[in-house]
Amino acid sequence: MSTPLHDALAKARAENRAALIGYLPVGYPSVDVSLEAMRAMVAGGADVVEVGVPYSDPVMDGPTIQAAAEPAVRAGVGPADVLRAVRAVADTGAAAVVMSYWNPIEHYGVARFAADLAAAGGSGAITPDLIPDEADEWLAASDAHDLDRVFLIAPSSTDARIVSTAKASRGFVYAAAVMGVTGAREAVGSAAAGLVGRYRRLAPGLPVCVGLGVSTGPQAAEVAGFADGVIVGSAFVRRLLDSPDAAGVAAVGTLAEQLAAGVRG
């Protein structure tokens, strides 16, 4: 099985670099502007776009992402908008992966979500609050539609948890290298490299991509030195919060260029 996500990570590896994975929630400041920002992200050099599903109780998201997701929830942004965003990203040639808490997927219908995601050109989904032990329905649905499924590991994960997560994952394993909520940080720190090292020792094979709060090209370069992919979310969202218009879209593209230069450095 080969998805656009698999191909994007393989292409980056063949170019001896990390992949750049960017996140934006659908619907902020509007659905149309969020789609334009995703396209700008790809034009700037992102290999993969995490299409964020706005959620009313985002317990793992920091204040920046919450500030964008809450208005989208109030505006009624829903599954049809998310699938439209997936198609928009896929049409650029980049890989589109949905990033969603489990409740919205379960509410939509797991089998239906998998079928519709595949039909829209999506590669799979990242489910941060779903652990493999409780994912039987998603494992079956993703198998049925040849979708990637990305589960998370953290510095607190036991060795056994890292092994079982890698076994259940497809596409890549998401290393959430800072404990707590997401958000841009001033420095990379050592936890990320340590977690990636543990993962590679225990479960070599599947790529490991790091979400850490990266916001600059030099930080991206540092993470790219030990990870297969660099995941950036809050820094992109901040560009739209600061300017929820065409200028914000342009700023997203400029940041993608800076980060892409970092991962290629």
By annotation, the residues acting in catalysis are 50, 61
Sign of CA dihedral 215, 218, 224, 227: negative
Angle at 206 between CA 186 and CA 11, to 5 degrees: 80
Cis (ω within 30 of 0) for the bond into 29?
Answer: yes
Distance, CA of 30 to CA of 145 (rounded, Å): 30
Angle at 204 between CA 198 and CA 210, to 5 degrees: 60
174 phi/psi in degrees, rounded to 5: -95, 115
